[in-house]
Structure 1
Amino acid sequence: MGSCIITSSEFLFASNKEMVRRMMGVPDGLDHVCTIALGYMDGEKPSTPQRNLDVISYI
């Protein structure tokens, strides 16, 4: 199973905040903070190149 957290959805739906709250069934007094997409891949998992364990990436 894969997942993806979408934190910018608050900005995407900022103008329609009440509509999104109704659609998602968010109770009064609570706010939508982020969206999480969950699901299984449709098909085979693509192969990934081997990682160089001597390389460190800082973000």
Structure 2
Amino acid sequence: MFENPYSFSSENYATLYIQSGGADSQRLIKLRKKLSTGQWFLNEILCLSDIRIPYSTDPWA
């Protein structure tokens, strides 16, 4: 996971980035902090779409 200078620009929200071997660019996830417990929860995930299957199992490769 990676963060950048803008990852924590909104209060109680965080935007982090994940590098995947099946994608050309980093994918982001957004977390939201529950104030009553201080826990972080997944709020939005954009890293599951457009992930390539392994080359060894791709019939079109």
Query: Which TM-score bucket, shorter chain as reference?
Result: under 0.3
Structure showing greater relative contact order (alpha-carbon pairs closer than 8 Å, 6 or more residues apart): 1
Determine which structure has the larger helix proportion and give its number.
Answer: 1
Determine which structure has the larger strand proportion and give its number.
Answer: 2
Larger Rg: 1
TM-score, normalised via structure 2 length: 0.19
